Structure 1
Amino acid sequence: MITASPRRVRRTGQAGAAYGLLWVFLLLNLAIVELMLAHPATPAHNTLTTIGRVLGLHLAFVMALQLLLIARLPFLDRRIGPDKLTQWHRWTGFALFWLVLLHPTFVLLGYSQPGRIPILSEIPVLARQMPVLLGMIAAGLIGVVAVTSVRAARKRVPYEVWHAIHLLVYVVVGLGVIHQVYEGSAFKTNNFTQAYWWGLWAFAIGALLTGRLLLPLARNLRHRLRVAAVVAESGDVVSVHVTGRNLHKLHARAGQFFLWRFPGHNRWWQANPWSLSAAPDGRSLRLTAKAIGRTSAGLRELPVGTRVFAEGPYGAFTAVARTRQDTLLIAGGIGITPIRALFEDETLSGDIVVLYRVRTPADAVLLGELRNLAGLRHARLHVLTGRTSADNRPFSPEGLRGLVPDITERDVFVCGPAPMTTEVLRSLKALRVPARQRHAELFRLAA
């Protein structure tokens, strides 16, 4: 087959602009916070309480930043993507956890120092003050969320349970705001600092309410999604076809995902991130899921006509991210769903190669559709089977170069189990495929 010579695709620079905006916002606000600390409204009792105050103000700022990162605002989500935003979320989460530990510790040390009172004895004394007690409760809840977010715990907790626990964040926000109203002093220097501080929090809470509540509600009222069909793809994989009104106005793209809820069939807090497994056509949406948890296993029993509540579309794993004319699509297991949708996307022009990694041919979901698309698009489809071993490592640098000799001249989209995706990304780096040509969907979704 004659393939088109590698050509560059004009980059939009959207991701760079979004990153730049994030950094400007972060640095500018940090500078203002430091200026506020230089001129507090009231002096601290001693050096230890001064440190506690500094840590407390930074704690409140990091919490406001965290709200913006989990707000899922379309501007950031479609340019940076949930995976990268979740990395920021994890970094700020670590900072939040340590600030929650250190802020009250230094405050307690500061109050116990003059009378040489044991620090543990100071806790019940301060807890009698309602604003301080609310702060203590918020700190405890943050600890619960942090513990369940550790990778070792996260692997053992079902997604639905993890998601429900993370709803405690909203309780923490409420308690934190009340605590600041009564205990804040660094931002009460003058009217300007108070206006700035509460403006920052109003912006963060407003962004959260808009992205997580108002926008999804408006979209679902507008589109009125319903289950149109449920199709078993294999013994443990099912596709759900969803219809609604004016779906073209959702502006969904192949490669994106939604958070899906099925009110009446599942509890309201059971939301799962499933990718579109077919390119959206403006008339219907299709998700395909493997029976891993209780919610995904229950999809097979969904009655036709069931109401659907979908948040999204989310993600930057789309053809918009391309920088080259030719494309390599790599999938493992059920990670084929966004790859299959991308394969159908007509904006993905040029020569296309698809690598699909499964244990056995019987595990290759949607294989018939992939073969039909390969024929229509004059693309190459390789189904890679067998256990990974010294003699069967298709995603090693040598394996990838053997399958796709011109890999450095292509954009590479990869989605699959975390170990496979990590291996592919490591091999791409070893092969010196530029970072701007490497695109991965890991579903590292913030709460």
Structure 2
Amino acid sequence: MIGGTNFEEAATNGSPNVSAIATPRRISVRGPSARAQRRHSRVVRIVLVAGGVVVLWMWWAGVPSTAAATPSALVTTFGELSGMIAAYLVCAQVLLIARIPWFERAVGLDKLVLWHRTLGTTVVLLVVTHVVAMIVGGELLDRSMPWSELISILQNYPDMLVALLGTIAFIAVGLSSARLLRARLSYEVWYWLHLTTYVAIFLTFLHQLSAGTHFVASPINRAVWLLLYLGTASAVLTWRFILPTANAWRHRMRVESVVRENAGTTSVWFTGPHLDELGVRAGNFLLFRFLSWGHLLTAHPYSVSRVPYDGRLRITVGALGNHSALVRELEPGTLVFVEGPFGHFTADRASRERILLIAGGAGIGPIRALAEELTARGLTPVLIYRAHSAGTLALLDELRALPGLTVIPVVGRRSELGYDPLSPGALGTIIRDLHNWEVFVCGPEGMMLTVEASLRELQVPKRFIHREELSMS
């Protein structure tokens, strides 16, 4: 009972509620880098656009005066442009997820993955456009059939066969990320298929220098292109392989214990040297690679539910797929390699005094860590905990034990409740002045989309709504 109203009863029964929650004492939780982060994010965008402008200039400087003299020349020139832009964007794609610390701090890994995914569609379309335009351009010039022109290109230009293999690999990777097909692939299959991208980049790179007119005739362009690709390869080797491997070996985390919180949720405790030096914050996630059967070949992102303390760290995982379901079968003593931390879903993002936390499913892990940090700072956040049944409310006792945290379990399926407890009307009933609050939400994607739409309808500004997607695909 807070402010004369029982939140738990209101949340479960849909009865009217009050708007008043005791105002916490005034305390600043905004980190010094909040404004700088937005500025750095703009800088990353500017750098990417500037690189594209340089590529356009390289193409334009090498376009012959007869480029538009015939349909064949015009189509071929357009094909060369699409190929150069595609090649540049491939490097940009790789750099976005190369775990470069400055990029991650400036933008956040979740947004970098989103940008990477968006660029992927563009790259595939440009690659297909390049191939089609080059074939059609040659067909118009030689007055031949498309398949005859394709055979002629493969026979008469260097490195074209390997380029064709690389192109097929690019298209296969692009198709695997399409929503319809991605839903039918396991993360493991998708992950290993995506690794072929590095092979595809190498295969297609060779023909750019040996057959590309803008590089064969220009030593400067060749040097710039070599620096671009060598720099990209160096960044990948440094921040995705060498440094993460060295860092993981230094900490050498091991599974201490596995705790089954309920039928679908498992907590894993870890121990290891120098865990406090990982720099993990509440709301961060790490990439975990367990050195055991069923886990060794892939690394998966899991949020931290207890930040490192006394040489121990904890994650809380929902059984959402093959990998996460196998987590509860881990044996104590299993060696773990971790990469990170990543993410901006942290308390430093908050700038208002009234903070609402909304969690569902496995999202309770990072929300629980956030709640602990916020209450330790003297704030009194409110947590709306969404679950289909009381038996799936993992970590509930821990949450209720946090001083200053108000926990509102919202239990039941919509068909049973007769309404959507995350609709604007329901959320507005629980807290009537939500437009004055700052909200952190974590849970299944559908739930987060529903919550965000409801909050916007309740006039909560977008900058006060925080969510982070853990998906690396």
TM-score by length of 2: 0.88
Cα displacement string for residues 110-159 of structure 1 (whole angstroms, at most 9, x for unaligned residues): 11212211112222232235511122111111111111111122222222
- More displaced stretch, 362-371 vs 152-161: 152-161
User: What is the match of residue 384 of structure 1?
Assistant: 410
User: What is the match of residue 38 of structure 2?
Assistant: 16
CA distance in 1, matches of 2:225, 2:378: 49
Letter in 2 for 1:269: L
CA distance in 1, matches of 2:215, 2:310: 49
CA distance in 1, matches of 2:459, 2:308: 33
Letter in 1 for 2:321: G
Decide whether the 8 Å contact of 2:288 with 2:302 is kept in 1.
Answer: yes
Matched, 1:246 2:300: no
413 and 292 in structure 1: CA distance in 2 versus 1, 3 angstrom threshold? same
User: What is the match of residue 95 of structure 1?
Assistant: 122
* Unaligned segments of structure 2, at least 5 residues: 3-21
* Equivalent of residue 115 in structure 1, options 126, 134, 142: 142
Decide whether the 8 Å contact of 2:302 with 2:470 is kept in 1.
Answer: no
Equivalent residues, number: 443
Residue 348 of structure 1: CA displacement?
5.3
User: What is the match of residue 93 of structure 2?
Assistant: 66
* Unaligned segments of structure 1, at least 5 residues: none
Letter in 2 for 1:55: S
Cα displacement string for residues 348-387 of structure 1 (whole angstroms, at most 9, x for unaligned residues): 54220001100111111111111112xx2x2210000111
User: What is the match of residue 368 of structure 1?
Assistant: 397
144 and 403 in structure 1: CA distance in 2 versus 1, 3 angstrom threshold? same
CA distance in 1, matches of 2:466, 2:211: 45
* Equivalent of residue 455 in structure 2, options 415, 424, 428: 428
User: What is the match of residue 342 of structure 1?
Assistant: 370
Residue 8 of structure 1: CA displacement?
6.8
Decide whether the 8 Å contact of 2:303 with 2:365 is kept in 1.
Answer: yes
CA distance in 1, matches of 2:128, 2:398: 53
Q: State the secondary structure of the residue aligned to 2:307.
A: coil
Decide whether the 8 Å contact of 2:371 with 2:405 is kept in 1.
Answer: no
* Equivalent of residue 233 in structure 2, options 196, 205, 208: 205
Residue 243 of structure 1: CA displacement?
1.2
CA RMSD of aligned residues (A): 2.2
Matched, 1:4 2:30: no
Q: State the secondary structure of the residue aligned to 1:114.
A: helix
Q: State the secondary structure of the residue aligned to 2:221.
A: helix
Cα displacement string for residues 277-320 of structure 1 (whole angstroms, at most 9, x for unaligned residues): 21332622211222333322222222211111112211111112
* Larger gyration radius, structure 1 or structure 2: 2
* Equivalent of residue 77 in structure 2, options 44, 50, 57: 50
Residue 442 of structure 1: CA displacement?
2.4
Decide whether the 8 Å contact of 1:6 with 1:410 is kept in 2.
Answer: no
CA distance in 1, matches of 2:99, 2:354: 30
227 and 391 in structure 1: CA distance in 2 versus 1, 3 angstrom threshold? same
Q: State the secondary structure of the residue aligned to 1:3.
A: coil
- More displaced stretch, 148-157 vs 264-273: 264-273
Residue 64 of structure 1: CA displacement?
0.9
Letter in 2 for 1:18: H
Cα displacement string for residues 324-367 of structure 1 (whole angstroms, at most 9, x for unaligned residues): 22311111112111111111125654220001100111111111
Decide whether the 8 Å contact of 1:247 with 1:283 is kept in 2.
Answer: yes
Q: State the secondary structure of the residue aligned to 1:113.
A: helix
CA distance in 1, matches of 2:180, 2:25: 46
User: What is the match of residue 323 of structure 2?
Assistant: 295
Letter in 2 for 1:116: R
CA distance in 2, matches of 1:260, 1:194: 39
Letter in 2 for 1:369: E
TM-score by length of 1: 0.93
Residue 214 of structure 1: CA displacement?
1.8
Decide whether the 8 Å contact of 1:325 with 1:349 is kept in 2.
Answer: no
Residue 70 of structure 1: CA displacement?
1.6
* Equivalent of residue 441 in structure 2, options 410, 414, 417: 414
10 and 300 in structure 1: CA distance in 2 versus 1, 3 angstrom threshold? closer
Cα displacement string for residues 394-434 of structure 1 (whole angstroms, at most 9, x for unaligned residues): 21112112212332222211111111110101111112211
263 and 109 in structure 1: CA distance in 2 versus 1, 3 angstrom threshold? same
436 and 176 in structure 1: CA distance in 2 versus 1, 3 angstrom threshold? same
CA distance in 1, matches of 2:296, 2:181: 24
